[in-house]
Homo-oligomer: A and B are copies of this chain.
């Protein structure tokens, strides 16, 4: 298979594309459906159908629960699971992503909408619809402008801290429903304070049902599948049955509530849910409201996109497929616009349901279309059956789902690997818990950017010397190397830019002031990937100051692209020192006595 082929690679790097090229490459939204739709056959139909059935069963309780979490009537959750699924099937580049209401985005929706209307009012729903519209428009715009890279500024530690904190916040927010009391708050302190003050009003029957359901769901999650497998069921079937746990909990508690008349005993139930197709709705066109929702909509868009893309990429890679992040932005944008015009609220690709969809054998986005059909049937015919469903059951569903998001192992891992990353996780988690989701996210991004800048602003610099008998140069503090008092070899392990240019100046100034014999400074540039205009000026300043002090500045091992740009500058034209291919050649030319062994040198002198 040997071959000396040239240029087999794709484009050298997306970073190398100029903006002009990027703009000229603006896509008309592409339609992945045209690709997979053409090859649709009976095999894919069966796989998709089975997967859709399982996801539908899983999605019904989740949709209801997340709508309540977002402060909306339960049927809104069903509405938000129809149009978005259909639109994602048309535009999405992942074969198996399942789009709909998800926990964290629902929490963020509650936080954002709660600023503008009281939960349970028509105005509240209208603001939620507007939020979905703005988020959809932003995602679509980011996709068309190929701004998907913006999501990269949410670092993994920040996402981890944020998701864990959100899980805790969501669980805390559901405690009130579990206890049958009223409580409010956008952060953990407010929530727990409010709950504590209401503890005396706890509705004990509700709490009992809620805790029992929670315990049952945890058991279903952890203990049912092994039990079923132990009974001789296939692991696949055992899995499907375990996924139906929440449906069973709903069926049983609804039946009991109806039979035992729990509503009359003061338990809160879901009550009447309107039957019918998702309504045709439109966002508010109030520009003042848009302005106030802009930041929350952006945060929701970015968080939703990151969550969706990471699950999509993980699943696509398992089948050597790929997803196109910018196309995902378009698809999620369309999904959210769809939600806005069909009575929904902000949606994104969900982790758990996409994994289920994948595991159940979904082959194409048609599975999403069938799931949408299933949800549609539910909203047409199933809602009367949910009249007696205790709200505490849905709260239990949410608590069990979100506690799996809480993962403190990131603390241990980042502590061991990187203290700045640990600081970013801790800051995000604490800020989210103490100040709420939006502030928490902004604080996390700010802290991680600041720490990155701090790190690169203090680059590792090492004075290097020649390792005897080799042409290699190593840190004088770590190796027994040979140096000359007349020559300083300095290696900088970072690109030079404004934030670290001055520390190079300081370092060289120190050396010049403290070494009267110094005649040459050689900057070994092997780890310098870029030199910006500030660093260039610093180099010019260093050269000028060294000149005043009678010292020559030289460069060595400058990378090709860096050299290409330096060639056009005054620095290289005025530089009295030389540019060497290697540090060894520099030392050979400037202080050859370092290379010659002293013994040999002595004989030459003799």
Instruction: Give the B-binding residues of A (Cβ under 8 A).
Output: 1-10, 12-16, 149, 151-158, 313-314, 316-318, 320-322, 325, 413-414, 416-418, 420-421, 448-449, 452-453, 455-463, 468, 475-477, 479-486, 493-495, 497-503, 505-507, 509-514, 516-517, 527, 529-530, 532-534, 536-538, 541, 544-546, 548-549, 559, 561, 565, 568-569, 591, 593-594, 596, 598, 601
Structural contact, B413 and A533, CB atoms closer than 8 A: yes
Structural contact, B598 and A534, CB atoms closer than 8 A: no
Structural contact, A541 and B320, CB atoms closer than 8 A: no
Distance between A595 CB and nearest chain B CB, rounded to angstroms: 9
**Chain B hits for A1, CB < 8 A:** 484-486, 517, 591, 593
Distance between A8 CB and nearest chain B CB, rounded to angstroms: 6
Q: Sorted from nearest, which 3 A-B pairs have the closest CB atoms?
A: A15-B458, A155-B498, A317-B545
What are 16 sample pairs from A and B whose C-beta atoms fall under 8 A apart? A1-B486, A3-B482, A4-B598, A6-B481, A8-B485, A12-B475, A13-B458, A153-B453, A155-B497, A156-B533, A156-B537, A317-B545, A414-B533, A455-B530, A460-B561, A493-B559
Quick one: which of B15, B459, B498 contacts A15, CB cutoff 8 A? B459
Structural contact, A601 and B534, CB atoms closer than 8 A: no
Structural contact, B157 and A533, CB atoms closer than 8 A: yes
**Chain B hits for A12, CB < 8 A:** 460-463, 475, 477
Distance between A358 CB and nearest chain B CB, rounded to angstroms: 12
The residue in chain B whose Cβ has the minimal distance to the Cβ of A461 is B13
Structural contact, B155 and A534, CB atoms closer than 8 A: yes
Q: 15 other contacts beyond A9-B483, A452-B453, with CB at 8 A cut-off?
A: A1-B485, A1-B486, A3-B482, A6-B481, A8-B463, A13-B507, A317-B546, A318-B545, A320-B513, A322-B512, A417-B568, A449-B453, A452-B499, A456-B495, A493-B561
Distance between A556 CB and nearest chain B CB, rounded to angstroms: 16
Structural contact, B503 and A4, CB atoms closer than 8 A: no
The residue in chain B whose Cβ has the minimal distance to the Cβ of A593 is B2
Distance between A494 CB and nearest chain B CB, rounded to angstroms: 6
Structural contact, A2 and B484, CB atoms closer than 8 A: yes
Structural contact, A483 and B13, CB atoms closer than 8 A: no
Most buried by B among A318, A468, A530, A596: A530
**Chain B hits for A481, CB < 8 A:** 4, 6
**Chain B hits for A420, CB < 8 A:** 532
The residue in chain B whose Cβ has the minimal distance to the Cβ of A445 is B498
Quick one: which of B16, B493, B499 contacts A153, CB cutoff 8 A? B499
Given contacts A4-B482, A512-B317, contact A421 B534 (CB under 8 A): yes
The residue in chain B whose Cβ has the minimal distance to the Cβ of A154 is B498
| Cα(A153)–Cα(B502), bound, Å | 10
Distance between A455 CB and nearest chain B CB, rounded to angstroms: 7
**Chain B hits for A561, CB < 8 A:** 460, 493
The residue in chain B whose Cβ has the minimal distance to the Cβ of A514 is B10
Structural contact, B320 and A418, CB atoms closer than 8 A: no
Structural contact, B527 and A527, CB atoms closer than 8 A: yes
Structural contact, A512 and B320, CB atoms closer than 8 A: yes
**Chain B hits for A544, CB < 8 A:** 314, 317
Most buried by B among A325, A456, A532: A532
**Chain B hits for A2, CB < 8 A:** 482, 484, 591, 593-594, 596, 598, 601
**Chain B hits for A529, CB < 8 A:** 459-460, 493-494, 527
Given contacts A15-B458, A149-B457, A318-B545, contact A448 B498 (CB under 8 A): yes
**Chain B hits for A158, CB < 8 A:** 498
| Cα(A5)–Cα(B591), bound, Å | 14
Most buried by B among A15, A501, A591: A15
Structural contact, B317 and A13, CB atoms closer than 8 A: no
Structural contact, A156 and B534, CB atoms closer than 8 A: yes
Given contacts A485-B1, A549-B317, contact A15 B461 (CB under 8 A): yes
| Cα(A461)–Cα(B16), bound, Å | 9
**Chain B hits for A479, CB < 8 A:** 6
Structural contact, B594 and A313, CB atoms closer than 8 A: no
Structural contact, B313 and A509, CB atoms closer than 8 A: yes
Quick one: which of B313, B458, B533, B568 contacts A149, CB cutoff 8 A? B458
The residue in chain B whose Cβ has the minimal distance to the Cβ of A493 is B529
| Cα(A561)–Cα(B484), bound, Å | 26
Structural contact, B483 and A5, CB atoms closer than 8 A: yes
| Cα(A3)–Cα(B597), bound, Å | 9
Structural contact, A545 and B314, CB atoms closer than 8 A: yes
Structural contact, B4 and A480, CB atoms closer than 8 A: yes
Structural contact, B3 and A485, CB atoms closer than 8 A: yes
Structural contact, B509 and A322, CB atoms closer than 8 A: yes
Quick one: which of B152, B497, B534 contacts A503, CB cutoff 8 A? B152
The residue in chain B whose Cβ has the minimal distance to the Cβ of A462 is B12
Structural contact, A477 and B9, CB atoms closer than 8 A: yes
The residue in chain B whose Cβ has the minimal distance to the Cβ of A9 is B463
**Chain B hits for A497, CB < 8 A:** 155, 452
The residue in chain B whose Cβ has the minimal distance to the Cβ of A466 is B4
The residue in chain B whose Cβ has the minimal distance to the Cβ of A413 is B533
Distance between A599 CB and nearest chain B CB, rounded to angstroms: 10
Quick one: which of B448, B458, B506 contacts A325, CB cutoff 8 A? B506
| Cα(A528)–Cα(B437), bound, Å | 34
Distance between A320 CB and nearest chain B CB, rounded to angstroms: 5
Distance between A523 CB and nearest chain B CB, rounded to angstroms: 14
Distance between A149 CB and nearest chain B CB, rounded to angstroms: 6
Structural contact, A498 and B13, CB atoms closer than 8 A: no
Structural contact, A548 and B313, CB atoms closer than 8 A: no
